[in-house]
Chains A and B, each alone.
Chain A
Amino acid sequence: MSQQALPPSWQHVGRHAVFPDSALDDTARFDFLANLNGYLATQLSPKVKAAYEGRVKPAFEKEKGRAPQTRHEVRKAMAGDAIYQTWSALRRSSMEMRQQAGRGLVLKQVDALIEKTRALNASDDGLQLDASVQVPRYSSAVDIHCMPGGYHTELLADDVSAAANYDCGIFATTGGMLGRYNDGGGQALAQWLQEHHPGFKPRRILDIGCTVGHNIVPLAQAFPDAEVIAIDVAAPMLRYAHARARALGINNITFRQANGETLDYADGSFDLITTAMFWHESSSTAMPRKLHEIQRLLASGGLTAHLEQPQYHGMDPYEQFIRDWDAYNNNEPFWSVMHEYDLRQMMAAAGFDAERYFETKVRGVVDRDIFPVASESGEDHGRAALWTMFGAWKA
Chain B
Amino acid sequence: MSIDPIALAGSRARGKRPYFFKDPDVERVLSIAMAIAMENAVTHQRLDALERLIEQKGLLSREELDQFRPDREAEAQRTLWMKEYIARVLRIVQQETEAVEGGAMDVPMEEVMDALRNE
Contacts and interface: CB of A to CB of B under 8 A. Distances in A.
Contacts of B93: 44, 83, 86, 90
A290 B24 CA distance: 41
Given A103-B9, A107-B8, A110-B3, A90 B30 contact: yes
A32 B38 contact: yes
A36 interface: yes
A50 interface: yes
Contact of A51 (B37, B46, B78, B100): B100
B21 to A, nearest CB: 5
A107 B96 CA distance: 40
A273 B34 CA distance: 42
Interface band, chain B: 35 or more
A1 B100 CA distance: 27
Given A11-B69, A111-B1, A89 B30 contact: yes
A33 B52 CA distance: 23
A92 interface: yes
A199 B17 CA distance: 49
Interface in B60-119: 65-66, 68-70, 75-76, 78-80, 82-83, 86-87, 90, 93, 96-97, 100-101
Interface stretch (A94-102, A226-234, A300-308, A385-393): A94-102
Interface residues of A, number: 63
A236 to B, nearest CB: 14
A83 B99 CA distance: 11
Interface string B19-58: 1110000010011001101100110111001000000000
A149 B70 CA distance: 34
Interface in A1-36: 1, 3, 6-9, 11, 23-25, 27-29, 31-33, 35-36
B6 interface: yes
A33 B86 contact: no
Interface stretch (A127-135, A139-147, A343-351): A139-147
B12 A148 contact: yes
A24 B79 contact: no
Contact of A35 (B19, B34, B79, B97): B79
Contacts of B44: 28
Contacts, number: 153
Given A89-B21, A142-B14, A97 B35 contact: yes
A39 interface: yes
Contacts of B78: 9, 31
Given A39-B83, A82-B96, A143-B13, A108 B68 contact: no
A3 B1 CA distance: 42
Contacts of B100: 47, 50-51, 54-55, 83
A86 B7 CA distance: 27
Contact of B2 (A1, A31, A147, A156): A156
A90 B96 CA distance: 15
A196 to B, nearest CB: 36
Interface of A: 1, 3, 6-9, 11, 23-25, 27-29, 31-33, 35-36, 38-39, 44, 47, 50-51, 54-55, 79, 82-86, 88-90, 92-94, 96-97, 99-101, 103-104, 107-108, 110-111, 141-143, 146-150, 155-156, 328-329, 331, 333
10 contacts: A11-B75, A47-B100, A83-B96, A88-B18, A100-B9, A104-B6, A110-B1, A110-B3, A110-B5, A331-B15
Given A27-B45, A111-B1, 14 more contacts: A3-B79, A9-B79, A11-B69, A25-B46, A32-B37, A88-B18, A92-B17, A93-B34, A104-B6, A107-B9, A142-B13, A142-B14, A146-B13, A148-B14
Interface of B: 1-3, 5-6, 8-15, 17-21, 27, 30-31, 34-35, 37-38, 41-42, 44-46, 49, 65-66, 68-70, 75-76, 78-80, 82-83, 86-87, 90, 93, 96-97, 100-101
